């Protein structure tokens, strides 16, 4: 098994988890990029 695939799968899993948490959160949440633009 390729370690790169495992790392990519881990990022995909964390991304899905983050999306689920943000979509179901009962509080307002903003995620900003390095220029302080809202990305979520």
The span from the CA of 31 to the CA of 6, in Å, is: 26
Task: Kindly report, residue by residue over 26-39, the tens digit of the pLDDT.
Answer: 998 888 999 999 98
**Residue owning tokens 């959160």:** 25
The span from the CA of 12 to the CA of 15, in Å, is: 5
Residue 40 token pair: 């979520």
**Residue owning tokens 């999306």:** 19
Segment 3-15 shows an average pLDDT of 69
- Angstrom CA distances, 26 to 3, 5, 31, stand at 36, 34, 15
Domain count, the chain: 1
Q: What is the pLDDT of residue 33?
A: 95
């Amino acid at each position: 098994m390729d370690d790169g695939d495992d790392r990519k799968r881990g990022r995909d899993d964390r991304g899905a988890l983050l999306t689920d948490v943000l979509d179901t959160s009962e509080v307002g949440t903003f995620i900003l990029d390095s220029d302080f633009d809202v990305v979520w």
